[in-house]
Structure 1
Amino acid sequence: MPAKSYKTSEEVDFVIVGSGAAGGVLARELSQAGHSVVVMERGPYLKQGDFHHDELAYWFANELMQANGVPPQSFRHSADEETDFHPDYPNMLYAQCVGGSTVHFTANYWRFHPVDFQEHTVHGDIPGAALADWPISYEELEPYYTQVEWEIGVSGLAGAHPNEPHRSKPYPMPPLPVKSSGVLFEKGAFELGLNPFPAPMAINSVPYDGRAACVHCGFCMGFGCEMGAKSSTLSNMIPQAEATGVCEIRTGANVVRVDTNKQGRATGVVYYDLQGRQHLQKAKAVVLSANGAETARLLFLSENSRFADGLANSSGIVGRHMMFNGGGTAGAFFEHPLNEYKSVQVTRISHDFYDTDPERGFYGGGGIDGRVMWSPIAYAVIGGMPGDPGWGPKHKDYLRQYSHFMYSSTHSTSLPVASNRVELDPEHMDSYGLPGIRLTYTDHADDLATTSFLVDRAAEILEAAGAQTVWKDPVRPQSFTAHLLGTCRMGNDPATSVVDKYHRTHDVPNLFICDGSSLVTSGRGQPTQTIQALAFRAAEHISRFAKNGEI
């Protein structure tokens, strides 16, 4: 079937901005429900054969994060701090291509737990944070978590951890084979009385849904999968959306504004094509799925006389409450070669410290895993033990240990803080003369305490596993992330949230937002499965609204 192509003058049912974790799901679901859909994607439409193992291209030249019109990013830890701007090294790491960051992600797939949806009820107020309950519960989202696992494709073992939340079905695929880091992580965790279990991964352990099984090449984090075994929306949702015959994937489309009429309704999106020509794609409804930074920026760029501070921003909280997820690492060398460069990043994890324990003195919790972290060149250039200057005899000794090396990585909470925010950058403009993104972010003290606690536990696991050398990387305030969450949070109260529980903006009835920006809290590590579960749920309700004339 030839690819669908709509004229910009045709008023389609939905225009979706972004084709990543949420946008890809929404495109598939809405088009399969019979709605006409145009997906706007700034980047190119890459195929499996376009991906390669060039570390310099992907890790250092940011090949997957480059596209026409990508806004510049600047960063500061507080409003009192001078802005840091390094155009070649973005602080927010997201791919620019069909499939978005599901193309280059590590593919860790955790469900949030019930407590993650009722943090304020359980924990109360935390000074300096804007903790809130979600307008939906885990039980409401559980069927959609299951839908993600079966329709996106997730490998794992149900019931493998004693505090796993309720699930209605097992995983569709068995866990991926355990690798050396998993064996050692498991050994150390068992020695300490913990409960390690096979890591749920959105990577095929066996052929699934017409896609190949993983061949264990080792190039997952930061790379596209040439086998199609990684369950990106590029490999599953997008082709299925196109197969309906009513969905167009429009690449090279840099959306810069949501167009609205005098009644305050969205009428479509304004975008630039690769030739720099401006167009208006008309639509009955607009869905923003551009990520927690880009969606907020687009709302600010769409200000008008009705919304002087940004479209759908009567609450004044668009762009606020940015959350990263906390994270830290402990490293180790072992006597025997581990050859960790092979296979997927993670095969064993622990959620023994997921829940809050008041005796620890802080609110947060999270998970710990065993992994490789660095591919060879990145290991040499970015890696290093504390005190290693990156050159000289000490660094050479470090390089010789590559095959004997593994990390234990921690993943944890990130409290929503109002001053952690995305704004339009008054100094740095994109290629169209529009403001870039200024990110202000510093970790809440509770988040740093959580990370320090988990890194200590990670080091203990490595020591119990028999490592010859163990070190803990310093825990510092974060300045970069691939998790962009919370800037257009869900809620029932229009004064304290941007979208309702169905992802409809409180202010504009035919404008929906569904991506990481919708999250109310960060969970304790890996948000992608929750983002996609929300997208499956949102699509169901949005389609119902459309068919009932309620948009």
Structure 2
Amino acid sequence: MSGRHRLGTTMPAPEPAVRFPTREPVDFVIVGSGASGGILARELSTAGFDVVVLEQGPYRTAADFSHDEMVNFIQGEMTSHPGWNDPQTFRDDPDAVADANANGGLPPALYARTVGGASVHFSGNYWRMRPLDFKERSLLGPMSGTGFADWPISYDELEPYYTRVEWEIGVSGEPGPFDPPRSKPYPLPPMPVKSSGVLLEKGARALGLHPQAAPVAILSQAYNGRPACVHCGFCMGFGCEMNAKSSTLATVLPQAEATGRCEIRPLSTVYRVDTGDDGRVDQVRYYDAQGAEQAQKARAVILAANGAETPRLLLMSASSAHPDGLANSSGLVGKYLMGNGHSTLHATFDEPVNDWKSIQVTRIIHDFYETDPARGHYGGGGIDARPLLNATPLMHALTETGMGTPRWGKDFRRDVDFGFSHHVAVLGSTTSVPLERNSVSLDPTVTDDKGRPALRVTYRDHDDDLAMMQFLQDRGEEIMDAAGARRTWREPVVPQTLLAHLLGTCRMGNDPATSVVDAAHRSHDVPNLFICDGSSLVSSGRGQPTLTIQALAFRAADKIIEAARNNEI
């Protein structure tokens, strides 16, 4: 299978600006082209290094995207492997046998397989972490039975890179009352407020809370040669046909290719990273578009494949020199998986809301961001209002499960018609405590069509995370009631079995015994192997990690370039 896909058809991939021979080493191979991989590719190639980006998904462009709900949601075209069956298994207990059907057939680790990665189909919410997120262990003390730890870097050190992301890719917003210090304003004004934002503001202000404009990686005005958002309503789960969403596909990857030093190889599924007799990485093995085995020689390798695929690849790269997996002398590769907690409240109003229009989120509430001991549990988070899956007609009909709603007949049709135009969802996004039992590992019995061990997810939310989800759901109901909701109903707060945020599985730290990479994202074990994606995070933040992942990528690129120029790689 080759090319890129649209509605089940095959289209030719763009001709690469440069092609590197596989048997001659390039300076860097980057595995993954998403939020972090795209930035690293741009930074390294513009610095004069030869870069090959290996991406398991096809090379789609804005012209290939559509509003087809069957293709995007039901068939999972962007999240399924494009060439073969690649199952995942799930269990909530490390002593249980994982099951490929435990999640109703849905993959427990949800991510896009396409050039640009999850930045192509995400909703674009772009919160910064705060200074406390980097040192909560010192502020609050230990949490028994967890891997609760401080980061080896501070907010102040990362702040210039937060600003760099916002200005280089294009983020719309304005500072709110609880925002951390910043060195520059947002480059673009906030997106226009939509109905759900107006209602969230109304209810929040009635309760003495402080709603603010949501920062989003979507253009409110034309910026850097890209057009402004047209408010089509198809953001979450869809690629942007206008290139107004600030994905790496629309921003840094074209700039990387324009250098003539970066080759993006789509439909290239990596299955092993090899090391030579000197203990250094020397090549990356992958299946090409035809399913044939290939290997790209490299002087250094950067894994940016996401917090599930990166540890999977390290574990599949076990050898006599690395019997427990590459870069895994600590035994922590794949451990401390964090997914952020989420809870959902639904509300309907007497008057039409029509929240299917425009982007998902225009207003947020961060009054509950910090941990408050008076709550009786760890954790904090944010609240937003949005249509959620009710933004698109088919998914609204399939998920319209309001209290007492029938599942068929004229009453079902009545409720679906009413709900589509009168519905608002309130989402609570929270912390996720790092637990060693929560992990990504290799399934011992289930394999994909190429014989690779299936990705096995073991996960159960900490009780404090569940309590914080419930706390934010309670506040969401109070806000909607204060806004004049006609009716509210809740989705049960239960341990999560589907994770779209995949964090912490190759954590950063100064001690090789308790971390996988150092503060510069270099493996403690292999000097020319770097890991920079959601797996590097030490703590989860409060629910929207992509901006932090990209800030870390810009910082990592500076560190890697400096080391390479000093012949330290």
TM-score range normalised by the length of the shorter chain:
over 0.9
How far did 1:2 drift?
6.0
Report the counterpart of residue 243 of structure 1 in structure 2.
Answer: 258
1:150-299 counterparts in 2 under 5 A? 150-158=167-175, 161-299=176-314
**1:64 is matched with which residue: 78, 82, 99?**
78
Alignment-derived partner of residue 433 in structure 1: 451
| Cα displacement (A) at 1:128 | 2.8
Say whether 1:488 aligns with 2:506: yes
1:125-176 CA distances to partner (integer Å, 9 max, x unpaired)? Answer: 1123210000000000000000000001100012xx2221000000000000
Alpha-carbon shift at residue 36 of structure 1 (Å)? 0.5
Give, in whole Å, the separation in 2 of the partners of 1:171 and 1:318: 36
SS of aligned partner of 2:164: helix
Task: Name the CA distance, whole Å, in 2 between partners of 1:149 and 1:343.
Answer: 21
Q: 1:415 pairs with 425, 429, 433, which one?
A: 433
SS across alignment from 2:362: strand
- Listed as ranges, the gaps of 5+ residues in structure 2 are 1-14
Deviations 1:435-462 (A, max 9, x none): 0101000000000000000000011111
The question of 1:13 aligning with 2:23 is answered no
- Letter of the 2:50 counterpart: S
2-structure distance, mates of 1:94, 1:309: 26
The answer on 1:341 being equivalent to 2:359 is no
CA–CA distance in structure 2, aligned partners of residues 42 and 2 of structure 1: 16
Structure 1 residues 509 and 310: CA distance shift in structure 2, 3 A: same
Residue in structure 2 matched with residue 41 of structure 1 by the alignment: 55
Deviation at 1:387? 5.7
The answer (yes or no) to whether the contact 1:489–1:517 under 8 Å persists in 2 is yes
Asked if 1 retains the 8 angstrom alpha-carbon contact of 2:30 and 2:53, the reply is yes
- Give RMSD over aligned pairs: 1.3
Contact 2:350–2:486 under 8 Å retained in 1: yes
| Structure 1: unaligned runs, 5 residues or longer | none
Query: CA contact under 8 A between 2:194 and 2:358: conserved in structure 1?
Result: yes
Q: Deviations over 1:82-101 (max 9, x none)?
A: 42313952121111110000
Q: 1:312 aligns with which of 321, 327, 331?
A: 327
Aligned to 2:42: 28
Q: Which amino acid aligns with 1:377?
A: L
Q: Name the CA distance, whole Å, in 2 between partners of 1:231 and 1:248.
A: 21
* Aligned pairs for 1:469-508 within 5 A: 469-508=487-526
Following superposition, the deviation at residue 71 of structure 1 comes to 3.1
2:292 and 2:70 mapped to 1: Cα distance? 33
| Matched positions, count | 549
Shift of 1:383: 3.4
Letter of the 1:422 counterpart: V
- Tell me if 1:142 matches 2:153: no
Please tell me whether the aligned partners of residues 329 and 525 of structure 2 are also in contact (alpha carbons under 8 angstroms). yes
> Is the Cα contact below 8 Å between 1:386 and 1:473 reproduced in 2?
no
Match of 2:9?
Answer: none
Measured in 2, the distance between the counterparts of 1:253 and 1:437 equals 18
Q: Bigger shift: 2-11 or 136-145?
A: 2-11
- Which is further off, 81-90 or 187-196? 81-90
Matched to 1:37, the amino acid is V
One-letter amino acid of the counterpart of residue 160, structure 2: P
SS of 1:285's equivalent in the other structure is strand
Secondary structure of the residue that 1:65 maps to in structure 2? coil
Report what 1:447 is aligned to.
465
What secondary structure sits across from 1:531 in the alignment? Answer: helix
Q: CA 1:25 to 1:195, structure 2 compared with 1: closer, same or farther past 3 Å?
A: same
Q: Secondary structure at the match of 1:284?
A: strand
Following superposition, the deviation at residue 65 of structure 1 comes to 1.2
C-alpha displacement at 1:472, in angstroms? 2.0
Any idea what SS the aligned residue of 1:197 has?
strand
* Alignment check: 8 A CA contact 1:384 1:398 kept: no
C-alpha distance in structure 1 between counterparts of 2:376 and 2:412, whole Å: 37
After superposing on structure 2, the runs of 4+ consecutive aligned residues of structure 1 that deviate more than 6 Å are none
Aligned-pair CA distance for 1:262: 1.4
With structure 2 as the length reference, what TM-score do the two structures score? 0.95
Matched with 2:380 is 365
- TM-superposed deviation, 1:279: 1.3
Query: Contact 1:381/1:390 (CA < 8 Å) preserved in 2?
Result: no
